[in-house]
């Protein structure tokens, strides 16, 4: 049997993002198709789960630090960033 490539988490993230943007008009079917394609590109279940949650975690952390650094009061900025 032929060996399958392990896949790429970055490639899976990109595929999921593009397919989600293209199929936004299909409420349940669009994200489902994006998940299937991205999961296949990731190469496994654990890699697919990482590919789904990693962009959200990175974006949330970035918003936290941006909100805390742009406010005049660091404590208020940290609370606002954590709320986002």
pLDDT digits (tens, 9 = 90+) for 51-68: 889 988 888 788 777 776
Count up the domains in the chain and report the number.
1
Q: Who contacts 8 (Cβ-Cβ below 8 Å, separation ≥6)?
A: 41, 42, 43
The residue ranking higher by pLDDT, 49 or 6, is 49
pLDDT surpassing 50 at residue 1: no
**Domain annotation covers residue 54:** yes
- CA 42 to chain centroid, in Å, comes to 13
Residues in the chain, total:
84
Is 78 a domain residue?
yes
4 in a domain, yes or no? no
Average pLDDT for 2-6: 59
Q: With a threshold of 0.85, does the pTM exceed it?
A: no
Question: Which is more confident, 1 or 28?
Answer: 28
């Amino acid at each position: 049997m032929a060996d399958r490539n392990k896949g790429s988490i970055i490639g899976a993230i990109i595929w999921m993002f593009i397919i989600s943007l293209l199929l936004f008009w299909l409420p349940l079917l669009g994200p489902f198709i994006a998940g299937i394609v991205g999961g296949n590109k990731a190469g496994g279940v654990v890699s697919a789960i990482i590919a789904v949650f990693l962009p959200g975690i990175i974006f949330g952390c970035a918003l936290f630090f941006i909100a805390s650094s742009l406010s005049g009061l660091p404590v208020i900025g940290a609370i606002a960033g954590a709320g986002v």
